C-alpha cells in the first residue's frame, strides 16, 4: 500500500448561530497548533445573502470550512500528509461550535480503494477493499469488465459493477452449482454450459469426469481476461481438449445442436429479469437438446436479497419441466446465500 495521507470530514448539524469570518480565522490557527501543521496561506469568501467559505493552504495539505446557515450546517474537512492524525480537530471544533450533532467521516488517502458492493443489504452499506485494479475495459459486446485484486478474496471479476467470481471462494460457487445438478442425476458425459465466462463451471465439470463439454459463451474478451488474471479458476479449461467453445449468442448456437444431446445443461447467466425473460423465450430450444432424464440447472441469484428474481426463475423452470428444486450455498465474496434451481427432463 502507498499511503498519501489522512482525511477527515466533519459536518456539524443543527447549528443555530451564524459565526463571523474572524471566528473561523481564529479557530484554524488553534487547529493548526494542535495538529502541528504550518499554515501557508488563507483564502475566504463571504456570500450574499448568507454562507461563508474558508480554505487554508498547509505545508502538509489543506483544511477548509463551508457554511450553510439556511440549513444549520457547518462543514469542515482536513487532509494532511503530516504525522498527526487530523482527528485532533474534532475535539477543538466540538467545543467551539454550538451544534446538535456531528457526522464524522475519516479515511486513509492511499493506493487502497473501496469498491461499492451493489448487493449490500439496505442499511448495511458494504465495500470491497481494492488493492489493485488489474484490468478495466468495455468489451466489444458492451459489457464493462473490471478485474481487481481485492484484499479478502484475491483476484476477482466484476461485470457492470457486480462481482461475478473471486479466487478465494470460486470453488464454493462452482462445486455447489454442479452438485445441485448431480444430486438429481449422476449422468454427466455430455454437458452444455450457457454463459459462465470465468470458466469455473466448466472446470467443475472436468473435475467431475465430464467427457464432452460444449461451452456457449457470448464474450471472448471476458474469457481471455480470466485466463490472464484468474488462472486458478480456468487454466484447466484452457488446456483441456474436452471443452469445445461456441462464441456468440448461445441461443442461436444451440439451434445447430442435435436433439437430446446433453445429460446436463448449466445456465450461468445473470440473475436479472432480462436473462429470466431470455431463458423463458428460449426454453423450448433448451428442452430439445436435453436428454430424457437430463438435468437443467440455472444460477438464480440470492433468495435472501432478491427473492422475486429467484421466484421468477423457478416459475420459468417449473412451467417448462413440471418440477423444480432449489438449493443454495453461502458465498463469502457475495456476502449472502446464493441459489441454484434444477429441473428434470421427464
- Sequence-separated (6 or more) residues with CB below 8 Å from residue 83: 36
User: Nearest to residue 177, comparing CAs of 162, 156, 161, 198?
Assistant: 198
85: cell is 492524525
Can you tell me the distance from the alpha carbon of 306 to that of 281, in angstroms, rounded to the nearest whole number?
22
Contact 106, 92 (CB under 8 A): no
What is the C-alpha radius of gyration for the chain, rounded to an integer number of angstroms? Answer: 28
Q: Is 108 strand, coil or helix? A: strand
Active site residue 61: yes
Catalytic residue, chosen from 62, 66, 185, 260, is: 66
| Angstrom distance (rounded) from CA 199 to CA 192 | 13
Asked whether the beta carbons of 233 and 225 are under 8 A apart, the reply is no
Q: Pick the catalytic residue from 21, 44, 62, 81.
A: 81
Q: Is 45 a catalytic residue?
A: no
User: Residue 277's Cα: distance from chain center in Å?
Assistant: 23
Contact (Cβ atoms closer than 8 angstroms) between residue 119 and residue 162: yes
Q: Of 61, 175, 181, 253, which one is the catalytic site residue?
A: 61
Q: Any bridge partners for residue 159, and if so which?
A: 145, 162
Q: Is 343 part of the annotated catalytic residue set? A: no
38 close to 60: Cβ distance less than 8 angstroms: yes
H-helix segments, 15-123 = 21-35, 88-96
Which residues carry out catalysis? 61, 66, 81
Amino acid at each position: 500500500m502507498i499511503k498519501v495521507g489522512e482525511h477527515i470530514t466533519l459536518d456539524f448539524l443543527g447549528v443555530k448561530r451564524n459565526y463571523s469570518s474572524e471566528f473561523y480565522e481564529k479557530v484554524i490557527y488553534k487547529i493548526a497548533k494542535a495538529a502541528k501543521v504550518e499554515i501557508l496561506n488563507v483564502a475566504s469568501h463571504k456570500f450574499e445573502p448568507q454562507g461563508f467559505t474558508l480554505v487554508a493552504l498547509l505545508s502538509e495539505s489543506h483544511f477548509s470550512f463551508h457554511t450553510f446557515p439556511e440549513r444549520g450546517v457547518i462543514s469542515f474537512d482536513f487532509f494532511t500528509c503530516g504525522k498527526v492524525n487530523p482527528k485532533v480537530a474534532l475535539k477543538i471544533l466540538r467545543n467551539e461550535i454550538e451544534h446538535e450533532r456531528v457526522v464524522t467521516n475519516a479515511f486513509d488517502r492511499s493506493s487502497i480503494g473501496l469498491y461499492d458492493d451493489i448487493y449490500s443489504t439496505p442499511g448495511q452499506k458494504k465495500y470491497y477493499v481494492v488493492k489493485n485494479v488489474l484490468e478495466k475495459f468495455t468489451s466489444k459486446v458492451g459489457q464493462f469488465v473490471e478485474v481487481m485484486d481485492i484484499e479478502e478474496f484475491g483476484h476477482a471479476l466484476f461485470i457492470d459493477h457486480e462481482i461475478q467470481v473471486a479466487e478465494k471462494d470460486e470453488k464454493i460457487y462452482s462445486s455447489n452449482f454442479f452438485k445441485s445438478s448431480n444430486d438429481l442425476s449422476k449422468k454427466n458425459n455430455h454437458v452444455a454450459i450457457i454463459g459462465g465466462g470465468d470458466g469455473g463451471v466448466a472446470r467443475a465439470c472436468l473435475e467431475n469426469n465430464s467427457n464432452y463439454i460444449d461451452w456457449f459463451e457470448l464474450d471472448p474478451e471476458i474469457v481471455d481476461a480470466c485466463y490472464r488474471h484468474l488462472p486458478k479458476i480456468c487454466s484447466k479449461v484452457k488446456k483441456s481438449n474436452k471443452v469445445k467453445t461456441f462464441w456468440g449468442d448461445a441461443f442461436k448456437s444451440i439451434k445447430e445442436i442435435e436433439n437430446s444431446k446433453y445429460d446436463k445443461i448449466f445456465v450461468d447467466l445473470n440473475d436479472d429479469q432480462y436473462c429470466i425473460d431470455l431463458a423463458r423465450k428460449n426454453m423450448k430450444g433448451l428442452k430439445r437438446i436435453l436428454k430424457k432424464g437430463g438435468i437443467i440447472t440455472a444460477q438464480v441469484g440470492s433468495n435472501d436479497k432478491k427473492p422475486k428474481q429467484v421466484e421468477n426463475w423457478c416459475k420459468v423452470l417449473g412451467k417448462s419441466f413440471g418440477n423444480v428444486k432449489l438449493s443454495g450455498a453461502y458465498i463469502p465474496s457475495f456476502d449472502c446465500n446464493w441459489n441454484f434451481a434444477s429441473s428434470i427432463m421427464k
